[in-house]
Amino acid sequence: MQEQSVIFFDIDGTLLNSKKELPISTKESIFKLKELGHVVAIATGRAPFMFEDLRKELDIHTYVSYNGQYVVLNGEVIYTNPLNINTLEKLTEEALQNDHPVVFMDHEDMKANVPHHPYIKESIETLKISHFPTHDPHYYKGRELYQSLLFCPVGEEIQYEQKYDDFDFVRWHPVSVDILPKGGSKAKGIERIAKRLGVSPERIYAFGDGLNDVEMLSTVQNSVAMGNGEELVKEAAKFVTKSVEEDGIRHGLEMVGLL
């Protein structure tokens, strides 16, 4: 029997294809990993409420969400890293003047600071989730937020990057950018879980395809980039598998010897 490993999977473009569907080969591979005694986990930029159905379908209870800011092990929250609310308030005031809406996100919900905006609709709809942000401009007050979304065209986030040192900005859509606590990443969330489980670095694996996966794939010893991933992502990974549309998860797991 193989020694137990922990395998982290990104969601969009990794577990799910471009239509936000879970390939049959991927689902079968996940359950095969579990049968072999491995720990299967998710590492995503999504909020916990954005992939609850997927966790149920795959029977997964360990995950790194919000790009490392909200970490859960076997259903228990083991680490949180909230945004600096004072700084976020200042950024939001400036963004409002620039017609750049902001969505505030905690572990349970997300609220927009404007009632409607085409950028919010355009980007959130690509996730194909049932949850859509409703309007509450004061949602940030009196609660911990683990990520926010800034909606602006490519290049216009630079003005915020230069001014707000408490945050990292990671683009995930042509009109939307993740706002994260400075230095927060999937890699750090994975580190928390590995430490709790007492798993050695050589038994940790990670699969991803997006720019928010670069640090994870360059840090984790056994890293696999999806064939549909961006070039920077492939350069960061130790292995490159086929695309998610070509049974890339199963192929990658076979490539690294887990299946």
Integer Cα distance of 237 and 210 in angstroms: 11
In 3D, which of 242, 238, 243 has the Cα closest to residue 201? 238
Tokens 């490539």 map to which residue? 255
10 given a catalytic annotation: yes
Tokens 């690509």 map to which residue? 126
The catalytically annotated residue of 10, 12, 106, 178 is 10
Task: Calculate the alpha carbon distances from 138 to 110, 114, 145, 208 in Å.
Answer: 12, 10, 12, 34
Integer Cα distance of 45 and 213 in angstroms: 9
Active-site residues, by number, are 10
